[in-house]
A and B are shown apart, each in its own frame.
Chain A
Amino acid sequence: MADEVLFDFLHMELVSYIHHSCVKEDNVKDTSIAKLESTGFRVGQSLIERFTKDSARFKDELDTMKFICKEFWNAIYKKQVDNLRTNHQGVYVLQDNKFKFLTQISNGKQFMESAPKYLAFPCGLLRGALSNLGVNCIVTAEVSAMPACKFQIQIQRS
């Protein structure tokens, strides 16, 4: 119902607000990134609940990852993940060559120092989604040249 551009602008404001609200903390950057990540986590959990209401459970971890790379990514970022790699030992790397939150910012290295704060919420979103699909993990993102971005998922076995 809501046009996708509304989320884009809301996300911008969210990042800006969280940064301003953390200004009194010792480590502004890390605190605000952590806050954004945990907000994304809660949203990711709720989102996946509604999304996969009718779907059957996935047969294994890899199947879950494929769902994330295809249907989930498509629904949120309007395209699929370009490349999925794994070491078959609990580490997955998702590569998106034109990550939606970066395509309007830069075509290379300009504004690189600001990229992490726009990747915090997406990392949390991914971690939250996986968590509700039964996969506990840590998600980090890495950018070497925009708009390409790599999300690294490290499965936490309890």
Chain B
Amino acid sequence: MTIYNFYIFDRNGVCLYYVEWNRRKQSGMSSEEEFKLMYGMIFSIKSFVNRISPTDVKEGFMTYKTSKYRLHFFETLSGLKFIMNTDLNVGNIRDILQQIYSTIYVEYVIKNPIIELDKPITSELFKTKLDDYMKGLPFFPAKVS
């Protein structure tokens, strides 16, 4: 079980945070381009999923998977988007993304008066707390190859 990488976007598409642990292949474009692509794609998928839905929409887009990896998506009512890529052994982790929001983002970003909310997060404390949390997850590998 593995976590590859993790993105946080705000409601305007600004990438507030990105971190990778075991990413084996790069996208071949600059970070800036990748963030724009990721945000734009998620935006379109969300809209598509809702429009094409044959039944009532509740949560909307949550996840997609390929034969090699799975992308997990969680959006708060305030438009914050949390995206995590994992291998296929990881199931539904919506509650984990929600916990990252409520116990790490809210504690160490929202409650830090020095951080501006619409800029990339520079707080080392946030970084440490997130890292500790991720490493404590059962599906975070013990050894990074």
Contacts and interface: CB of A to CB of B under 8 A. Distances in A.
Contacts of B114: 105, 111, 114
Contact of B113 (A107, A108, A118): A118
Contacts of A104: 107-108, 111-112, 125
B113 A110 contact: no
B95 interface: no
B29 to A, nearest CB: 30
A110 B125 contact: yes
B136 to A, nearest CB: 17
B31 interface: no
B123 interface: yes
A104 B107 CA distance: 6
Interface in B69-83: none
Nearest to A117: B113
A156 to B, nearest CB: 31
Chain A CB count within 10 A is highest, among B107, B114, B128, for B114
B113 A106 contact: no
B59 interface: no
A134 to B, nearest CB: 34
Contacts of A110: 123-125
A145 interface: no
Interface residues of A, number: 14
B107 A107 contact: no
Interface string A53-93: 00000000000000000000000000000000000000000
A107 B124 contact: yes
B125 A107 contact: yes
Interface in B44-78: none
Chain B CB count within 10 A is highest, among A8, A12, A107, A114, for A107
A33 interface: no
B108 to A, nearest CB: 6
Contacts of B124: 106-108, 110
Given A104-B107, A104-B112, A106-B124, 9 more contacts: A5-B111, A104-B108, A105-B113, A105-B114, A106-B125, A107-B124, A107-B128, A110-B124, A110-B125
The 3 A-B pairs with the shortest beta carbon distances in the complex, nearest first, are A12-B113, A104-B111, A107-B125
